[in-house]
Amino acid sequence: MNKYFITDGKEKFGPFSKEELRNQNISMETKVWCYGMEQWEEISQIPDLEYLTSVIPPGINLKSTEEPLRKVEFEPKSTSKKELKSIQATVKKNKISSAKKWLIAVGVIALISIIAYSSVQKQSDINLYNEIVANSYESDENFEMYVEKFYRDLEISGITKKNPKTTIIKLSRLDQIDNATHIHGVSYGFNDDDKIEIYINASTWKKFNKPMRYFLMYHELAHDILNVSDLDNISQNEGELMYPEISTYENKSMDDFIESFHSLFDEF
């Protein structure tokens, strides 16, 4: 296989195989010589090296020919590698920082939405609460009795809960309030150990039989004092104290009620 020498007009370099020539700084004007050739020829004149010149745009050198070839033979590689790395790093950095900016923007928008939503939610909760309170009234119902019994039953089950500073249990016209989610009773002392605040729907109270009243009162007191949530409204939970549809408990007995709160208290 032919080995080629190249020259920049001042010095000659080589010999290079055709493969090695690929890595040399070659322009259309680069002169080449190999054994058998009478004189230096421009690389474009050598059919054997056509593939090298076909990728060089006419009139444009890959590198300035003013620099000595030997020097540029190594430098382009390292420089370009280094440059490429730094370009890649910059691109990556830009990508990351723009991605970061987007992430921050999306986060801020989400946060604003959450705050806006929760403040609207809060306001509507406050409005609902105010309406419930405005529709509540003092009655002769002995709600204290349920509270005292509830604490006694807790104690028997080995659950100690301190008595709250404030206890408000009133009837209210819950069924006449728009957007009221709890028709029969609602507790506002959830997660506040210093306070019991429960509103019972007046017409519900009138309608409910004795076991149902106990179910309802213990249900709301469990929300309020034990901070437990409603169970899912599925048939498997029917009969439980925290079942959300206590109004369907018409046929339940006091024994059913006792069983239901014992099964809840036992979980503690």
Instruction: Kindly list the residues in this chain that would bind Zn ion in the complex (CB under 5 A).
Output: 230
> Of the two residues 113 and 233, which places its CB atom closer to Zn ion in the complex?
233
Report, in Å, the least distance between residue 227 CB and Zn ion: 12
What single letter denotes the amino acid at residue 61? N
Strand partners, 200: 171, 185
> Of the two residues 4 and 215, which places its CB atom closer to Zn ion in the complex?
215
Report, in Å, the least distance between residue 109 CB and Zn ion: 35
Report, in Å, the least distance between residue 141 CB and Zn ion: 19
> Of the two residues 119 and 229, which places its CB atom closer to Zn ion in the complex?
229
> Of the two residues 49 and 217, which places its CB atom closer to Zn ion in the complex?
217
Other beta carbons less than 10 A from residue 224's beta carbon: 26
- Six-digit token string for 35: 């054994």
Contact 162, 193 (CB under 8 A): yes
Beta-carbon contacts of residue 6 (< 8 Å; ≥ 6 apart): 12, 13, 14, 16, 21, 24, 26, 30, 31, 32, 33, 43, 69
Measured over the CA atoms of residue 8, residue 13, residue 17 and residue 23, the dihedral's sign is negative
Burial of 4 per CB tally in 10 Å (0-12, 13-18, 19+): buried
Report, in Å, the least distance between residue 108 CB and Zn ion: 36
> Of the two residues 32 and 213, which places its CB atom closer to Zn ion in the complex?
213
Report, in Å, the least distance between residue 188 CB and Zn ion: 12
What residue is closest to Zn ion based on CB? 230
